[in-house]
Structure 1
Amino acid sequence: MELVRELATALVLPGWSQRRARLPLAIALLVVGVAFPLVVAVWAVVSGRNWVALSLDRTFLAWVLAAFVAALAARLVALAMWFAAGSRSRERTVAGALAALVAVVPLSVGIVDVAQARSDIAPVFTPTADGGAVFDPDGDGDDDDPTGTTLPTVDVEPVTSVDAVERPWERGPLPTIEMGSTTTTQPRVKPARPRSGVDPAVVADVRNILLLGGDAGPGRSGLRTDTMMLLSVHTPSGRASLVSLPRDMEGLLFPPGSALEARYPYGFTELANAVYPIVSASSSLRSAYETDGDIRPGIVATAQAIGYSLDVPIHDYVLVDMQGFLDLVDALGGVTVRVTKQIPMPGNVPGAKYDYPPTIGPGTIEMDGTLALGYVRSRYADSDYQRTRRQRDLLAAMAQQISAVEVLSRYDQVLDAVGGTLRTSLTPDELADTVALIGGETAIVESVGLVPPLINVKRPDVQRMAEIVGEVRVAIAQGTASGY
């Protein structure tokens, strides 16, 4: 019994039994093996931070890793001292070996798990180099300069090696004017910069986050941003809006002086979801859109196109690709969605874990990642524009049903899904708060799609788009309805 007591003391309070013979060493072992891990645990509790945010914070995980290592080292030293202090009987050796296993195995597992977690989330959080916006049309971090066009995160020289004259087959013939027997060609005029007309003081507390869903996954090369949403949050009240841009919108504008503006001076002639792959596939464009931070050039270019076209600063972004979405839904245990009508399912996407049924709904359906991905990608039920509505609805349902307990109970699976496919400029706390906000019962007070009949996606009125987004931001800031 005395043997058990000694070993328990060595494991629970390393150094305590040596306090009379070796006081300095005993104090050091107690501080390293007990006090330090306890301080880390208490700090985590009293910090008031969201547990999901803590579990995604590499700095916090580094402290946890250090606490595990310190606890293991202190107990191994205490056990070594206990061995050295007594006789070498077989009973004592066996008991000491078992005690060492009790100390080593769980702490070693903890060290490996935390180290793996830090490695998994290392590429996820990619803040801007100076902590500023991903794109600000005025270059000053807010909306108070109606004339500036400085790009804060990308310093781009005008591209002279690319033909800046629009090729006639890209947009049809130039307009002509009939004057009697003479026909003259009217020069094409570059589009004016869109203006939202928003009072900067009204939206000073509105933060704008670009949510991107990519179609990358097994069997697919490159990435197109098939899902593009602007999440605007009025930080004092928590009111938020989601505005969707369809993937097939044409005519996005680029900031003056940027590389893509030199190529497409009269508006983007490709679909909106092609900005990312066009930049990613060109070494010169990648170089033009590189930043001091670690944000992918395709994201920077997409943020510039959307931010400039809508006259809105984009402070942060979140990108999730197709396979990551599927894996993340599975890792979180699925999502329950109320489907209001029968939805024909698409052909199986690469990475799907089984064949889709012909249709789903109507009714309340429990979806795993495979089914959820098919639900948000189906275009046969209604239209590509209604699909953006389903994407917004599913996003809100997922956020509403996620709990810290679920995340922590499936920690390894969640990190495995998140680490390989999620990229964001948000901090862990901001990401956790954003997820909680999207899932709130009344947080999303405005949900708008820039689609027909509101907007003609083939010949979009970007000025009108900027005004709509401006009115939506004003609405969430003032607590009124935008009417859209």
Structure 2
Amino acid sequence: MLNIILFILALLLTIGGLSYYSIYSTVAKSVNHMYEPLHRDSKSQDTDIGHDPISILLLGVDERPGDKGRTDSMIVLTINPETKKSTMVSIPRDTRVFMRSKNTNIKINAAYTYEGIEGTVQTVEQFLNIPINYYIKLNMEGFKDIVDAIGGITVNNDFPFTLEGVHIPKGEQHIDGKVALKYARMRKEDPRGDFGRQQRQREIINQIVHEGAQLKSLKNYQGILTSLEKNIQTNLTLDKMIDIQSSYKEAVNNIKQIEVKGDDKKIDNLWYHVVKNETRKDLSKTLRHQLNLES
């Protein structure tokens, strides 16, 4: 999802910077419509973008009519411009965490149902003991609009499966938005479970960036921006996006991916991904080191 934002910046620099002010203005207006600040008290302090390490919470939210929605995908990205390294931590949606405001244990994806972005950010901060500086939320239901706007993407499916009437065969294939959404959501038929789904979602994001950077996609920049505007929410301003593009690009290209290891257990008739406290502390230590924070 950060890559999608970087794609917006590439679009801005490629077209807006070299062409007409009206195009730059269109990009600026779209980003402004995506902007939604956080209002709660957070561990997050103001960061000096370009010099300080930053953390970004990337959320794929399953929002449908009449439903508050839950996070379908949750990734914490830390970026250190000094070491030119980044870490990407995929948090399984069923991870058992303590939600302080509710004074109870929940599946981490339910934090969004209870308290939206604010509650989700706070819960992730508490779980990992790090500040979350920024967030980017993508509406998974509108995911297909983004894929269609760039003319589809090419994926390499490891094994054939069918989800909600859509069959996706094995092998490399060019898919549209409807198929991409199924490809991103399936997990029950995947022997890797949630981790397999996370891998496919990262593949889709990379392919969106690849296809979106092509000249044929840039010609449809208005359609792309419209789909992004409808489906992305973030507390990153346009100025901060530009700073990230210029100052953190090297670090974003050097990403270490980390999985949150745990055991799947049934507690009170519900299945959870249970992470040992020692594992959680080790993960926190890694991320805090990446953010130049004391362990």
TM-score normalized by structure 2? 0.75
1:449 is aligned to 259
**What root-mean-square deviation, in Å, do the aligned CA atoms of Structure 1 and Structure 2 show?**
3.9
2-side partners of 1:317 and 1:463: how far apart?
27
Which deviations, in whole Å up to 9, do the C-alpha atoms of 1:448-469 show, x marking residues without a partner? 2214359994443345324214
Does 1:467 find its partner at 2:266?
no
| Contact 1:239/1:444, CA 8 A, preserved across alignment | yes
Does 1:313 find its partner at 2:131?
yes
2:268 is aligned to none
Instruction: Return closer, same or farther for 1:395/1:241 CA change in 2, 3 Å cut-off.
Output: farther
Shift of 1:408: 3.2
2:5 is aligned to none
Does 1:64 find its partner at 2:21?
yes
Does 1:360 find its partner at 2:207?
no
2:161 is aligned to 344
Shift of 1:314: 0.6
Does 1:208 find its partner at 2:208?
no
Aligned pairs for 1:324-343 within 5 A? 324-339=142-157, 341-343=158-160
2-side partners of 1:317 and 1:272: how far apart?
16
Question: Which entry has the higher C-alpha Rg, 1 or 2?
Answer: 1
Which deviations, in whole Å up to 9, do the C-alpha atoms of 1:281-307 show, x marking residues without a partner? xxxxxxxxxxxxxxxxx1111111001
> Which of residues 200, 207, 211 in structure 2 aligns to 1:390?
200
3-state SS, counterpart of residue 76 of structure 2: strand
3-state SS, counterpart of residue 333 of structure 1: coil
| Contact 1:229/1:245, CA 8 A, preserved across alignment | yes
1:270 is aligned to 106
| Contact 2:57/2:76, CA 8 A, preserved across alignment | yes
| Contact 2:139/2:232, CA 8 A, preserved across alignment | yes
3-state SS, counterpart of residue 426 of structure 1: coil
Aligned pairs for 1:353-432 within 5 A? 356-357=166-167, 359-361=168-170, 363-379=171-187, 380-382=189-191, 383-403=193-213, 405-428=215-238, 430-431=240-241
Aligned partner of 1:277: which letter?
T
Shift of 1:437: 10
| Contact 2:53/2:80, CA 8 A, preserved across alignment | yes
- Identity percentage of aligned residues: 23
| Contact 2:62/2:140, CA 8 A, preserved across alignment | yes
Q: Which runs of 5+ in 1 are unaligned?
A: 1-48, 66-109, 143-203, 255-259, 280-297, 348-354, 478-484
| Contact 1:342/1:360, CA 8 A, preserved across alignment | yes
1:183 is aligned to none
Instruction: Return closer, same or farther for 1:120/1:441 CA change in 2, 3 Å cut-off.
Output: closer
Aligned partner of 2:175: which letter?
M
2-side partners of 1:271 and 1:454: how far apart?
12
Shift of 1:404: 7.0
| Contact 1:446/1:476, CA 8 A, preserved across alignment | no
Does 1:233 find its partner at 2:79?
yes
1-side partners of 2:203 and 2:120: how far apart?
23
| Contact 1:316/1:425, CA 8 A, preserved across alignment | yes
Aligned partner of 1:64: which letter?
Y
| Contact 1:332/1:407, CA 8 A, preserved across alignment | yes
Aligned pairs for 1:79-94 within 5 A? none
Greater relative CO (CA pairs within 8 A, separation 6+): 2
2-side partners of 1:208 and 1:235: how far apart?
12
| Contact 1:395/1:438, CA 8 A, preserved across alignment | no
Instruction: Work out the number of aligned pairs and report it.
Output: 273
1-side partners of 2:182 and 2:244: how far apart?
25
Which deviations, in whole Å up to 9, do the C-alpha atoms of 1:359-395 show, x marking residues without a partner? 322x222222112111111111221232122222322
Aligned partner of 1:226: which letter?
D
3-state SS, counterpart of residue 57 of structure 2: strand
2-side partners of 1:465 and 1:453: how far apart?
13
Larger proportion of strand: 2
3-state SS, counterpart of residue 226 of structure 1: strand
2-side partners of 1:243 and 1:328: how far apart?
24
Instruction: Return closer, same or farther for 1:208/1:406 CA change in 2, 3 Å cut-off.
Output: farther
| Contact 2:74/2:93, CA 8 A, preserved across alignment | yes
